[in-house]
Structures are given as C-alpha cells and as structure tokens.
C-alpha cells in the first residue's frame, strides 16, 4: 500500500490559498473515476484507489497545517506502513512560483506541516514533493502563504498542480528515484541553446555570373 498526503487547511476560507496546493494536488488525483469518494477517518479525509496492483490512499488532514503529522501518524500506524510508502505534498515559499522539488529526505525547511510530520514520525527520511508558491516581497510569511494566488499567477499554479500529480503517479509506479529525475530535472531544465548553423554561400551554377540575383521564382 502507498499513501499520498496533500497538506493544507480545511474549510472554504482557505480554498485557493498558497498553503493549500497540497490539497489541490490530491483533489486533482482523486478526480479520476478510478478513485473512490472521500470519507472522514484518522483526522483526515481519505479516498482509495488501486494502481499497478497495489492499494493507494489519498489523504487530506483535517487538523490544520501545523498539526498535519497527527493524521499522517494515525494512518501510517493503522496500516503498518513504512515511511518509504509515504509521499507528502506541500507548498514552499522558498521555491519560485510553480517550481517542483522532490526529495527522499531532508529538513522541514520551516514548513510547519512538514515540521510536525517529522516530529510525529521521529524521522526526516520520508519522501516529499514541494511546490513553489512564490516568495513574499515584504510583510509576514504567514499572511503570504494564507493569501490567494493573483490572477496572473493562476496559469502557472494550475500547470504546477498537474505536473505534481504526474510526479506523484511516477512515484507510485516507479519509486522515488524516477520521480526525482522527472520532477527536478523537468522543472530545472532549460531549452538547449543551439548554435546557428553556418550558412555557406552557394557556388554559382556553371555559366551563371556570380553577381546575378536569383528571381523569386527560382
């Protein structure tokens, strides 16, 4: 069994905020007809599916962001999962808007949901997928992550949510390594700049003066 947890805050008040992109990715995945309806359990709402012959749980904690680890710990303990069976999806204001970053382990980076999960699990060695929500230019970071995306940011956010959902499916099917390669390289890669080909002057045809200009029909 695998568990994908999207982080966010429950309630209509927080829908569409930067802190809720983890919820948005889980909702995107759960929109598939192969996924069952959400039900309330383990201080979360959970939906089930079967992917590549294994059971998958999609979860959104109801505990608010700062206590996300409570729900994660209950689900992990009940189903006797290892932390390698877990993927956490969260926002990150240290990443540029729309950028993805997948790691197999690491610090919480100041993200309070990840901090609480680390405390509850007693380890930072769990896979996580972070989505850049832009950086606050001034003011309180809490106010920033609880703000909604601006109209000019929404297209990039929608693309990032779809890309994160794809990365989560790669993790389900192939594991953390291919997921990291796809998400990290895919978002970091820049188009290769090709050198312009050297254009050699055409040799004049025999009997044609070299300074003749070809007509439009030639």
* Domains of the chain, start order: 2-188 (3.40.50.1470)
Q: What is the mean pLDDT of the chain?
A: 84
Give the separation between CA 179 and CA 85, rounded to whole angstroms: 14
Average pLDDT over residues 35-62: 94
Each residue's pLDDT tens digit, 144-171 = 899 999 999 999 999 999 999 999 999 9
Q: Which residues of 78-90 are buried (b: 16+ CB within 10 A; e: fewer)?
A: eeebebebbbbbb
In this model, does residue 78 exceed pLDDT 50? yes
Cβ atoms of 132 and 95 closer than 8 Å = yes
pLDDT of residue 198: 39
* pTM as predicted: 0.82
Percent of the chain with pLDDT over 70: 84
Each residue's pLDDT tens digit, 21-48 = 999 999 999 999 989 999 999 999 999 9
Give the separation between CA 62 and CA 48, rounded to whole angstroms: 17
Report, as residue numbers or ranges, the catalytic residues: 19
In this model, does residue 62 exceed pLDDT 80? yes
Main-chain phi, psi angles of 107, to 5 degrees: -75, 165
């Amino acid at each position: 069994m695998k568990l994908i947890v999207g982080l966010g805050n429950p309630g209509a008040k927080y829908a569409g905020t930067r802190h809720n992109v983890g919820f948005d990715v889980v909702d995107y995945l759960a929109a598939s007809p192969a996924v069952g309806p959400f039900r309330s359990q383990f201080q979360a709402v959970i939906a089930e599916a079967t992917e590549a012959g294994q059971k998958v749980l999609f979860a959104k904690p109801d505990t608010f962001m700062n206590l996300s680890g409570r729900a994660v710990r209950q689900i992990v303990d009940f189903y006797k999962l290892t932390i390698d069976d877990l993927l956490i999806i969260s926002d990150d204001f240290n990443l540029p808007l729309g950028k993805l970053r997948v790691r197999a382990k690491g610090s919480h980076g100041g993200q309070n949901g990840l901090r609480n999960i680390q405390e509850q699990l007693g380890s930072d060695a769990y896979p996580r997928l972070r989505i850049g929500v832009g950086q606050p230019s001034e003011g309180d970071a809490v106010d920033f992550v609880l703000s909604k995306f601006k109209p000019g940011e929404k297209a990039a956010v929608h693309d990032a949510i779809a890309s994160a959902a794809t990365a989560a499916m790669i993790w389900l099917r192939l594991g953390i390594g291919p997921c990291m390669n796809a998400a990290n390289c895919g978002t970091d890669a820049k188009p290769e700049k090709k050198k312009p080909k050297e254009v050699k002057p055409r040799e004049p045809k025999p009997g044609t003066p070299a300074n003749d200009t070809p007509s439009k029909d030639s």
